[in-house]
Chain A
Amino acid sequence: MATSLLLACGLNEQKLPGFVHISEESNVDGSFLISCILGQRLRISNAGTLLVCLQNHYQHYFNAGMRLGYNSNIFLGKTLNVIDVLSDMARLGLTSKWLRSPDGLTLTEQLVKDIREQLEKNYPNRSSYTILIDNLSILINLGASKQQVQQFCLDLADLAKAHDNLTVITKLSNSDIHPLTDNNVAKLGNVRIQVLRLKSGVFRDVDGKLLIERVLDDEGSYSCEQTRKEVLYKVNDRNVKIYNPGEIGVKV
Chain B
Amino acid sequence: MLSNLIVTNQKVVLIIDQLNRDRIALKFITSLLSEQGEGNDIKTLPIGTQLKHVANFDALLNDCANSASNQQSNPTDPITTKTGYNVILPTLADLLCYQTPAFIFDYLNKLRQSEHVRRVFLWASPMHLQHPDADYILAGCEYMAELVLRLETDSTLSLISRKPAGGVTNKRYKCQVSKTEFNVKPVTEGADTTSSPVTTTQETPDISDPGRTFKIELDEDEVVARNALTLPYERTSETEEGNIIYTPDANDDFDEEDPDEDLLIKMCSHSDRQYKPWL
Contacts and interface: CB of A to CB of B under 8 A. Distances in A.
Contacts of B20: 183
Nearest to B22: A187
B48 interface: yes
Given A147-B97, A158-B49, A187-B22, A221 B27 contact: yes
A223 B21 contact: yes
A181 B134 CA distance: 14
B24 A154 contact: no
Contacts of B96: 147
Interface in A152-166: 154-155, 157-158, 161
A223 B179 contact: yes
B235 interface: no
A193 to B, nearest CB: 17
Nearest to A155: B49
A155 B98 CA distance: 12
A184 interface: yes
Interface stretch (B56-64, B124-132, B267-275): B124-132
A149 to B, nearest CB: 9
Contacts of B181: 222
B266 interface: no
Interface string B70-109: 0000000000000000000000011011100000000000
B128 A221 contact: no
Chain A, interface residues (CB within 8 Å), range: 20 to 34
B130 A150 contact: yes
A114 interface: no
A158 B31 contact: no
A180 B129 contact: yes
A224 B98 CA distance: 26
Contacts of A220: 24, 27, 178-180
Given A147-B130, A180-B129, A222 B48 contact: no
A224 B24 contact: yes
B23 to A, nearest CB: 5
Contacts of A223: 21, 24, 177-179
A174 interface: no
B24 A219 contact: yes
- For the complex of A and B, the 4 pairs showing the least CB-CB separation, nearest first, are A220-B179, A221-B31, A180-B130, A222-B182
Interface of A: 146-147, 150-151, 154-155, 157-158, 161, 179-181, 183-184, 187, 215, 219-225
Interface of B: 20-24, 27-28, 30-31, 48-49, 52, 93-94, 96-98, 127-131, 177-182
Given A180-B127, A223-B178, 10 more contacts: A151-B98, A157-B48, A158-B49, A183-B127, A187-B22, A187-B128, A219-B24, A221-B31, A221-B179, A224-B23
